[in-house]
A and B are shown apart, each in its own frame.
Chain A
Amino acid sequence: MAKDEIRDPTNRAIEAVFRIERARLIATLARMTRDVDRAEELAQEALLIALTEWPKSGVPDRPGAWLTAAAKRRLIDGVRHEAMRTRKQAEIARELDEEPDMGVEAVEAALDDPLGDELLGLIFAACHPVIAHEARAALTLRLVGGLTVEEIARAFLSNEATIAARITRAKKAIAKAGVAFEVPRGAELQARLASVLEVVYLIFNEGYAATAGPSLVRPPLCAEAQRLARILAGLMPEQPEVLGLLALVEIQASRLAARAGPDGRFVPLTEQNRARWDQLLIRRGQNALARAGALGGADGPYALQAALAACHARARSADETDWARIAALYDRLGDVMPSPVVELNRAVAHSMAFGPEAGLRLVDAIADAAMLRNYAPLPAARGDFLFRAGRHEEARAQFEAAAALSGNERERDFLLGRAAACAV
């Protein structure tokens, strides 16, 4: 589309309406065609039709139904066009054509989908385990978040070709595995839901703790993940871990503004200016956490992590932090989600609650874990324990080791600063 068209206020208004409908439109079309690429094309064609029609007719009352009907007509025209080639396609065309009530009203009724099953189906497909991990996030941002390939590339500090290839591979994997664009039922639901939540949290973390690059946080990725978590919580309000994840991202995001100092440097939690924490997000997070608990989900991995984040949110100053409660929550988290990274955080919590020696004891127990071999936070935590125990020379070596392992420039500066402080 030409840039001039985008600048035109009418077209911008139409585009905004389209953006609201886009994910659900693609979901509906993907379910009909079993082809994500075709669904995206049809959605785009529907937008072009709207850009011609709506300036004359005005935006329809139910724009989603209108766009779906327009795209569906395009689909039928296309299939009919191809109909001569194979009998099978001709049958599909006849089937589609013979569906009664092709009008907007019928589509409207079909779209009156209070459970949001179609959109959920699309999210579940984009996060399907047959797709490679890093491609799930890219495909979800593209299909559900409506980000362009360029925006996704910028968000992940990658280039467009890489992201485009990743998305293409993801679509092929979906087609090859014959993934249905539906919400899985029964026993499959929990396993697939875990994959969805993992993708949302991965997107959030890539924004919150940028693993590479010059900038510490990338708020647009956090905002996308928050929106996804909110959509999921709206559509699956009875799933405690969805609420746990929502609580976690809301409370973590509440600290985005405080996490980087004025010069862009990393500010650790205990030194953050709590007046800059977003109280609206904290309140939302606490509500979601309470709902997760009421559904019996207080011990889910995300709910426990949200409870940890809520402990910090509750403390009016770093000194008021209830570290004993945090240590106890980490003990529980270590049981339900055993991992060296959790153990490391548990060590930090115990060091704050019971002294640096308690932290050193726990961290020594996991020092040989393969997962932590090149993990900067491990030597960073040990350096902190040693420093607080008065063993400054040993602490410095740990901070330097951590700085050498860190991929984030801002974090590296912070660690080198701590190493330098050991000499004083």
Chain B
Amino acid sequence: MRVMVFVKATEDSEKGLPPTEDMTEMFEAMGKFNEELVNAGVMVDGDGLKPSSAGKRIAFDGASRTVIDGPFAETRELVAGYWVWEVKDMDEAVAWAKRCPNPMPGPSELEIRPFYEMEDFGEAVTPEIAEREQRLREKLGGE
């Protein structure tokens, strides 16, 4: 199964701190962890994101579209980086996440979210529904 692992933002990550001694150490530990993930065939993608001060939000309400410039307030709900892992189950994802070095100088959080897969819909997906889904995807794909 494929999961996305979010590194949640903290006040430090939102400041976009310049690298300090501590962080060099953290980067090293993170580099080692990433290497482990790659060598175990688990990591398929991942990257870090700039603070929300560099971001924008587009708010929808009916026909209106409002652009809101960052930074955004609710720091703990922001994302500072992500991985995409391929694991056998959530237990394995959790086991890997627990051995991740703390990605931030202070307290921080990772969040693991599985991708939707066709099996998730189980028997609720009749061939007709699956076909409609496929037609929809075809339209989305612009073909």
Q: Which residues of A contact B (CB under 8 A)?
A: 12-13, 15-17, 19-20, 59, 114, 116, 223, 226-231, 234-235, 257, 261-263, 273-276, 280-281, 284, 316-317
Find out whether the CB atom of A13 lies under 8 angstroms from the CB atom of B40.
no
Tell me the nearest residue of chain A to B125, going by C-beta.
A262
Additional A-B contacts beyond A20-B92, A226-B86 (10; CB < 8 A): A13-B91, A16-B92, A230-B42, A230-B44, A235-B39, A263-B131, A273-B143, A274-B143, A284-B45, A316-B143
| B residues 15-51 touching A (CB-CB < 8 Å) | 35, 38-42, 44-45
User: When the two chains form their complex, are residues A275 and B95 in contact, meaning their CB atoms are under 8 A apart?
Assistant: no
Contact across chains for A280 and B88 when beta carbons are under 8 A apart: no
Residues of A close to B141: CB separation below 8 A: 273-276
Counting chain A CB atoms within 10 Å of each CB, which of B41, B84, B127 scores highest?
A: B41
Which residue on A lies nearest to B37, using beta carbons? A234
Q: List the B side residues contacting A230 at CB < 8 Å.
A: 38, 41-42, 44
| B134 beta carbon closer than 8 Å to chain A | yes
For chain B, the count of residues having a C-beta within 8 Å of the partner chain is 30
Complex partner residue of B143 from A226, A227, A275, A280, CB under 8 angstroms: A275
Residues of B within 8 A of A (CB): 35, 38-42, 44-45, 84, 86, 88-89, 91-92, 94-96, 98, 118, 127, 130-131, 133-134, 137-138, 140-143
- Taken together as a complex, chains A and B put the C-alpha atoms of A176 and B98 apart, in Å, by 41
Is the beta-carbon distance between A262 and B45 smaller than 8 angstroms?
no
Q: Are B94 and A16 in contact (CB under 8 A)?
A: yes
CB atoms of B40 and A20 under 8 A apart: yes
Instruction: Choose among B41, B96, B133 the residue that contacts A227 (Cβ–Cβ < 8 A).
Output: B41
Tell whether, in the assembled complex, residue A262 and residue B39 are in contact, meaning their CB atoms are under 8 Å apart: no
Provide the bound-state CA to CA distance between A263 and B138, in Å. 17
Min distance, Cβ A257 to any Cβ of chain B, angstroms:
7
Which residues on A sit within 8 Å (CB–CB) of B84? Answer: 280
Minimum CB–CB distance from B88 to chain A (whole Å) comes to 7
Q: Determine whether the beta carbon of A13 is less than 8 Å from that of B95.
A: yes
Contacts of B95 in A (CB 8 A): 13, 16-17, 19-20
Q: Let me know if A12 and B91 touch, CB within 8 A.
A: yes
Neighbouring B residues of A261 by C-beta, 8 Å: 134
Nearest residue (CB) in A for B132 is A262
Q: List 13 A-B contacts (CB under 8 A).
A: A16-B89, A16-B95, A223-B86, A230-B38, A230-B41, A257-B118, A275-B140, A275-B142, A275-B143, A276-B137, A280-B45, A316-B143, A317-B143
Quote the shortest CB–CB distance from B68 to chain A (angstroms): 29
Q: Which 8 A-B pairs have the closest CB atoms?
A: A275-B141, A230-B41, A16-B91, A262-B130, A234-B39, A227-B41, A16-B95, A231-B41
